[in-house]
Amino acid sequence: MQSVRRQVEHRSKHPYDDNPVRDRQIGYVTVIPWVSRPCFFAGARVKHVAPFAASLGTDELSAAGVLYDGMLSVAVTMQASSDVTSVVEHIERLLTGEVGDSLD
């Protein structure tokens, strides 16, 4: 979390350091391997974990995944005008090994 916070803070101060030609940035992808066994909160088993992708207003797309108790949960933040269906389908293909890492 500290590393993600530092990256977001840096990007908020220097949003175009990585690529000054682009007027928007891709964003962040984070995968957190939490635990392989169930956890408990107030005596109840935690069944689901919702990840939140770090993003700035200039990001086109950011994603976060959490591995918890044998289940992968993925959350994506993107511009409202984005083709959500296409992005979700592409992420699914990436996760199942059906395609490489390009959105082309």
Average pLDDT over residues 14-27: 56
The pLDDT mean for the chain works out to 77
pTM: 0.59
- Give the tens place of pLDDT for each residue, 40-81: 999 999 998 888 887 777 778 888 888 888 888 888 888 878
- pLDDT surpassing 70 at residue 12: no
SS3 assignment for 50-82: CCCCCCCCCECEEEEEEEECCEEEEEEEECCCC
| Tokens representing residue 19 in the block | 């690529």
